[in-house]
Structure 1
Amino acid sequence: MWREIVSGAAVGAACLILTGAASADPLGPHRLGRPATPDAIAAWNIDVRPDGAGLPPGHGSVAEGRAVFAARCAACHGETGQGGAADRLVGGQGTLATAKPVRTVGSFWPTATTLFDYVRRAMPFDAPQSLSDAEVYAVSAYLLHLNGIVPADAVLDARSLPAVAMPNRAGFVPDARPDVQRP
């Protein structure tokens, strides 16, 4: 019986596609949702690639990041990123090849741009995407400073962030799949 239901559903879907009925109305046969507009797509198109493509305008300093981190991040990650209820973000350099690796921003992450991307999309945990771009640059600068990667007077922006040399930048194996190739 299950095979009959599945194959019947597959045949029905194939008929809709072949007859064009599935694409006649952009809202579909049930008239749900709305067509994606360029503005709606742009609002969700916030990814930042390892080469820095997609970084927004703005900038942030280590000092600004210290204040943002204290207000928005320390409750989960500890006052200096050493860990709390959430993952540790600082330290761990030299531990990846040991029996107990400590994976942090400073020991594991291959690019600083992916740090920006992650913080921008997913943090703070209780209010993802609530930080401004300047606050994300600042938090990124602060975390990179805590890990000894940028100096205390660093100011990061779309030009300087991709130039940050992360300690584990050569620690990842290239991926030959065509869908993950860098341009």
Structure 2
Amino acid sequence: MRRMIVFAALGACALLASCDASPSAADPSFGLGHTPTPARLAAIDIDVDPSGAGLPAGAGTSSDGAVVYAAKCASCHGAKGEGLAPVPPLVGRTPDVGYDFARADRAPRTIGNYWPYATTVFDYVRRAMPQNAPGSLSDTETYAVVAWLLHENGIIGANAEMNATTLPAVQMPARGIFVLDDRQGGRPFR
């Protein structure tokens, strides 16, 4: 038994001694992946910020969105956005705006009681929905679904058209509960 332990230890030492501890000057990508083309970068550079920068051309209304939602969203989120377990609800204003989500984190966070910017709803729907085909909605379909969601949450009127001008102007009920993180000090990170 002792002999096996000694041979195992010597083998481990030999293996460690044969390893080069210095960084390799070889390809840092290890031969994986490739440099994306400008066209590929443009296709994935679709972020939208709270001011509306990055919103594409197109427009949609709640009535247009009801059709798209029924066809592409309701199977997971429910016919009225009520959520189907385990998918959370999208529609609802309970608990009311101002509810302390930090202290009672089990309350549902819906578009009507939690999301601070309508442009963020657009950005998320555009990138991640529907779950079985993320990014498959056209810009017009995305505007329409977002208009339907905002209308169902009582945020916009039934005939309001959402587009690159009107969407950033929507005042979300929960906008005031979010504060700018302007802390100073501490160790910076990148």
User: What is the TM-score normalised by the length of structure 1?
Assistant: 0.79
- Point out the more displaced range, 107-116 or 44-53: 44-53
RMSD: 2.5
Contact 2:52 2:167 in 1 (8 A): yes
Greater Cα radius of gyration, structure 1 or 2: 2
3-state DSSP class of the match of 1:116? helix
How far apart, CA to CA, are the structure 1 residues paired with 2:146 and 2:132?
A: 18
* Residue 149 (1) aligns with residue 155 (2): yes
Q: 1:10 to 1:44 in 2, by over 3 A?
A: farther
- The one-letter code of the counterpart of 1:12 is P
Specify the alignment match of 1:181 in structure 2.
none
User: What is the TM-score normalised by the length of structure 2?
Assistant: 0.77
- The one-letter code of the counterpart of 1:58 is G
* Residue 130 (1) aligns with residue 141 (2): no
Specify the alignment match of 2:91 in structure 1.
90
- The one-letter code of the counterpart of 1:77 is H
3-state DSSP class of the match of 2:60? strand
Gap runs ≥5 in structure 2: 1-11, 185-190
Contact 1:92 1:101 in 2 (8 A): no
How far apart, CA to CA, are the structure 1 residues paired with 2:30 and 2:111?
A: 47
How far apart, CA to CA, are the structure 2 residues paired with 1:130 and 1:84?
A: 22
How many aligned positions are there? Answer: 163
Contact 2:88 2:108 in 1 (8 A): no
Contact 2:66 2:145 in 1 (8 A): yes
Q: Between the two proteins, what is the percent identity of the paired residues? A: 51
- The one-letter code of the counterpart of 1:47 is D
3-state DSSP class of the match of 1:12? coil
Q: 1:41 to 1:150 in 2, by over 3 A?
A: same
Offset at residue 177 of structure 1 (A): 7.1
3-state DSSP class of the match of 2:114? coil
1:12-161 residue pairs with structure 2 within 5 A? 12-13=23-24, 16=25, 22=27, 30=31, 32-85=32-85, 86-93=87-94, 94=96, 96-97=99-100, 99=104, 101-161=107-167
Gap runs ≥5 in structure 1: 179-183
Offset at residue 175 of structure 1 (A): 1.9
Which stretches of structure 1, 4 residues or longer, exceed 4 Å deviation after superposition?
A: none
